[in-house]
Amino acid sequence: QNILSMNSIEVLYDNVLLAIKGVSVQVPKGEMIALLGSNGAGKSTTLKAISGLLKAERGRISRGEIKFEGTDITEMLAQKRVEMGICHVIEGRRVFEHLTPDENLTAAAPMGMSKATLNAEKEKIYSFFPRLAERKNSQAGYLSGGEQQMLAIGRALVTQPSLLMLDEPSLGLAPFLVEEIFGIIKQINQEQGLSVLLVEQNALAALEIVSEGYLIENGRVVMHGAADALKANS
């Protein structure tokens, strides 16, 4: 069944700009799905509609419905969605640069998480990202771009999401690092059953790890299919 079901969503910014025009996306539980398309197509807007981050940008859903685990979340506050298990790593690897990775993970933990659970989550994250483990007590601002992206993903994982949404995690990274990070995301997906919605301009890299892709152009889904079929098409 689908963990996420987005049906005919329209998003307006500033009450005038129709950024997405009836987008429908389904994420089957435990699968990795990619949203592909060029700059300005509406991919980030789609993720923000799901995580509830539109309001901060004077955007709103003007039509359609989003269901998460069967619950209508279309109007739900962003914080409530996080509590339900939706985590959105926004574009640009936001981390606290003056804190260490370890402190960044602590700061990202949900309120009320026990110390034992937090430590267990950190150990899991460090085992998936050995590079991060090596640097866990350095200042995060001095980490490389790839390490900061790993930390941004780690900060999401510490909230124990069931749906992880990543916006352009490959941006600005060397191809070997993209391969490494995508491989780790795939591993987490397979070992933990984490559902992933991945936004990428780098379609070739994304189609290596996802099962299905949606191609978004000008605010609409113009193609949807199995990754293999889309690869053959591109």
Binding footprint of ligand ADP on the chain (CB under 6 A): 13-14, 17, 19, 37, 39-45, 57, 59, 135, 142-147
Phi, psi of 19 (to 5 degrees): -80, -40
CB of 144 to ligand ADP, least distance (A): 3
Report, in Å, the least distance between residue 170 CB and ligand ADP: 13
Closest CB to ligand ADP among 36 and 109?
Answer: 36
The CB-of-55 to ligand ADP minimum distance in angstroms stands at 11
Name the residue nearer to ligand ADP (CB basis): 154 or 162.
154
How far is residue 208's CA from residue 186's CA, in Å, rounded to a whole number?
A: 10
Q: Which is nearer to ligand ADP, 37 or 52 (CB)?
A: 37
- In eight-state DSSP terms, residue 179 is H
| Pairwise CA distance, residues 21 & 18, whole Å | 7
Sign of the Cα torsion 3, 50, 188, 192 reads negative
52/109 with CB nearer ligand ADP? 52
Question: How many angstroms separate the CA atoms of 211 and 215, rounded?
Answer: 14
| Nearest distance, CB of residue 2 and ligand ADP, angstroms | 22
**Residue 24, token pair as written in the block:** 């429908």
Q: Residue 125 CB, nearest distance to ligand ADP (Å)?
A: 17
- Three-class SS state of 32: strand
Structure-block tokens of residue 146: 């790839």
Residue nearer to ligand ADP on the CB measure, 47 or 109: 47
